[in-house]
With several copies, the nearest count.
Chain A
Amino acid sequence: MDLDLGEDQQAIRDAVGGFLEKEVTPERVRDAEPGGFDAEVWRGLVDLGVAGMGLAESRGGMDGGLLDLALIAEPIGAHLTPAPFVETATVLRLLERVDAGAALADRFAETLASDASVATLALRPARSGTFRLVPAGAVADLVVGLDGDDLVALDAAPPGVGSVPSNLGAAPVSDRDANAGERTVLESGDAARTAFTAALDDWRVLTAGWLSGLADRALAIGVEYATSREQFGVPIGSFQAVSHRLADVSTEVEGARLLYREAAWSADEGLPRMGVLAGAAYLFASETAQKSAEESLHFHGGYGFTLEYDIQLFFRRAKTVALALDAQTPLLHDLAGRILQGSGRDLIGVGGG
Chain B
Amino acid sequence: MDFNTGERGELFRREVREFFAEHLTDEVRQRVRETGTVHDWKLHRALGEKGWLAASWPVEYGGQEREASEMAAFYEEAALAGAPFDGLLTTLIIANTIRHVGSDEQKREIIPPILRGEVLVALGYSEPGSGSDVASVRMRAVRDGDEWVIDGEKVFTTLAHESQYVILLTRTDPEVSKHAGLTMFLVPLDLPGIEIRPIHTLGGERTNSTFYAGVRVHDRWRVGEVNGGWDVMGVALTFERTVTGGKETVRLLERFVEWAREATDADGRPRLEEAPVREAIARTAIRNEVSYLLAQRANWVAASGGLPGVEGSQSRLFYTTRFQRTASELMDVIGPEAVLDHNAEGAPASGHIEHAHRHSQVGTIYGGTSEIQRGIIARRGLKLPSAR
Contacts and interface: CB of A to CB of B under 8 A. Distances in A.
Q: Do chains A and B touch in the complex (CB under 8 A)?
A: yes
A349 B288 contact: yes
Interface stretch (B107-115, B231-239, B250-258): B250-258
Contact of A1 (B133, B257, B283, B299): B299
B285 A165 contact: no
Nearest to A290: B328
Given A227-B384, A352-B73, A3 B377 contact: no
A166 B377 contact: no
A306 interface: yes
A1 B3 contact: yes
Nearest to B266: A127
B38 to A, nearest CB: 14
Interface in A115-131: 123-124, 127
B7 to A, nearest CB: 10
Contact of B361 (A259, A266, A297, A328): A297
A241 to B, nearest CB: 5
A277 B293 CA distance: 12
B203 interface: yes
Interface in A303-353: 304-308, 312, 315-316, 319-320, 322-330, 332-333, 335-337, 339-340, 344-345, 347-353
A250 interface: yes
B143 interface: no
A262 B133 contact: no
Most buried by B among A1, A235, A259, A335: A1
A348 B288 contact: yes
A1 B304 CA distance: 10
Interface string A36-64: 00000000000000000000000000000
B2 A168 contact: no
A251 B321 CA distance: 12
B377 A250 contact: yes
Given A1-B4, A3-B297, A9-B1, A301 B9 contact: no
Interface in A98-142: 123-124, 127, 132-133
Interface residues of A, number: 99
Contacts of B365: 298, 301-302, 304-305
A290 B338 CA distance: 15
A6 B332 contact: no
Interface stretch (B58-66, B88-96, B182-190, B272-280): B272-280
Contacts of B347: 165
Contacts of A238: 384-388
Contact of B285 (A67, A251, A304, A348): A348
B341 A166 contact: yes
B278 A326 contact: no
A306 to B, nearest CB: 5
A169 B339 contact: yes
A26 to B, nearest CB: 15
Main DSSP-derived SS at the B contact region: helix
Contacts of B133: 231-233
A67 B354 CA distance: 34
B201 A1 contact: no
A348 B254 CA distance: 8
Interface residues on B, range: 35 or more
Question: Which of A123, A132, A231, A238 is most buried by chain B, counting CB atoms within 10 A of its CB?
Answer: A231
Contacts of B371: 239-242, 244
B199 A133 contact: no
Contact of B290 (A243, A258, A266, A320): A258
Given A231-B133, A255-B290, A349-B285, A319 B1 contact: no
A333 B318 contact: no
A66 to B, nearest CB: 12
Contacts of B213: none
A224 B185 CA distance: 35
A329 B132 CA distance: 38
A237 B385 contact: yes
Given A259-B290, A336-B279, A336-B281, A251 B314 contact: yes
A258 B294 contact: yes
B317 A251 contact: yes
Contacts of B324: 294
Interface in B290-311: 290-294, 296-297, 299-300, 303, 311
A316 B293 CA distance: 29
Given A246-B384, A315-B361, A323 B3 contact: no
A350 B357 CA distance: 21
Nearest to B285: A348
Contacts of A67: 1
Given A238-B385, A332-B278, A332-B279, A349 B314 contact: no
14 contacts: A2-B2, A166-B340, A223-B382, A235-B385, A241-B374, A251-B294, A323-B332, A328-B276, A332-B278, A340-B272, A344-B257, A345-B250, A349-B249, A350-B292
